[in-house]
Structure 1
């Protein structure tokens, strides 16, 4: 099971995340493409950092919502969304090419990610856009009980998928993340590590109702926004390395 993290989210004088501290523990870096966060300098710096540590690079596109950090849904036509995705993927892929590295996958950010999972038409647009890009890339999306359906949708487009789980989030009965508005949505450190171990050993999570849910998981999303998050990533990496 791989570890992925959203990175490159600084912008101008605004600093977000502890990318230098986090990168040595990761397998995959989801690099912001400028629409919700990131700027050309930050993108280049993050790509170089990922290359230095041998971390696989992914494009992390979003709705064009810099003010809202990409966390607000936007009513875009399929054509508008397609163009916005292509613009962002091409930007990070082109910059990566000048550094001799490659972008291997796409993971939508924030509201676009959530909308993709909830709305079949949006997911279809995202899948078709990634599948039609000028070189093969995989799409990262959330591992849920609908994974088989999502796999069939992608297979029809000859698109590869990466299914991800979340280390620190509680799961609802349908395999989606429990809303942050509900108690227990974010795990304590102890519960987080227990969930990671359960996922790695058994490919299951325990839902908010206490049921056991089997998930196909290729990659685990972690967060390095602060010192506590960096330490949590260290602990997760150590757990995966030492005990599994």
Structure 2
């Protein structure tokens, strides 16, 4: 992980309490995605797939309307253009391609947001793109240069190139953490392919630990500090997991308890 001192880190002034974000609109054509309609009332922000790893124009437009109906903040969720691998495979792109792909996908979602009079709240890369950006400077720099044009915060992993790149390009940075996928013992996010299955009761306890102590069980069950101690952050959960309803329900309970204890005056 890249070590960033407090003075060099990008300023986070966007959150006043712990929030939950969920990846939504991850369907295309006749292929169904997660149960977005059921999840929306339980979350604070929806990351809508932009047609790369999932999503198509009709699904994107419908998902924006669904988020607006529930009063949910909307972020763009661009991923590697690889629907067959759901954006979770390593894809080689030049810096020029990565930059253009980010502009292309976020711009597409923004057109639907503008039509619905819904603001773009944030940008959060998906899957392997997000994983690679935490320690690959070329991949991170190209993505962040493109993200900077939209003048909205980026969700990312504190203490990694996500945070450094946000600072470099003047992008507001919102720290993010995960409980339904794992980190390594060194605190590096592994993503879905490298993680063990997390049961809802584990997600509840992991969320409480993150909120109160900034610690989460790694893939080997050892507690690791992932950079969200003593500050609000956004918690990501995945809608394509079979237990996503139960996972989000468990996390919501824990987040509400943490906010009541630590941020009730916010």
Normalization by structure 2: what TM-score?
0.82
C-alpha distance in 2 between matches for 1:181 and 1:72: 9
Q: Does 1:61 align with 2:78?
A: yes
Q: How is 1:1-244 mapped onto 2 (pairs within 5 angstroms)?
A: 1-131=18-148, 133=149, 135-143=150-158, 146-147=159-160, 150-178=162-190, 185-207=196-218, 208=220, 210-216=222-228, 218-225=233-240, 228-242=243-257, 244=261
Q: Which region of structure 1 is more displaced relative to structure 2, 172-181 or 26-35?
A: 172-181
C-alpha distance in 2 between matches for 1:209 and 1:32: 31
Q: Which region of structure 1 is more displaced relative to structure 2, 12-21 or 150-159?
A: 150-159
Residue 101 and residue 202 in structure 1: after superposition, are their counterparts in 2 closer, same or farther (change >3 A)? same
The answer as to whether partners of 1:223 and 1:230 remain within 8 angstroms in 2 is no
Normalization by structure 1: what TM-score?
0.89
Q: Which runs of 5+ in 2 are unaligned?
A: 1-17, 262-266
C-alpha distance in 2 between matches for 1:26 and 1:123: 27
Q: Deviations over 1:38-67 (max 9, x none)?
A: 111111111011111111111111122122
C-alpha distance in 2 between matches for 1:45 and 1:181: 29
Aligned residues: 238
RMSD over aligned CA atoms reads 2.1
The answer as to whether partners of 2:28 and 2:54 remain within 8 angstroms in 1 is yes
C-alpha distance in 1 between matches for 2:191 and 2:81: 24
Secondary structure (helix, strand or coil) at the match of 1:118 reads coil
Q: Deviations over 1:157-196 (max 9, x none)?
A: 11111221112233222212357666x7232222221110
Residue 171 and residue 32 in structure 1: after superposition, are their counterparts in 2 closer, same or farther (change >3 A)? same
Instruction: Measure how far apart 1:116 and its partner are.
Output: 1.0
- Greater relative CO (CA pairs within 8 A, separation 6+): 2
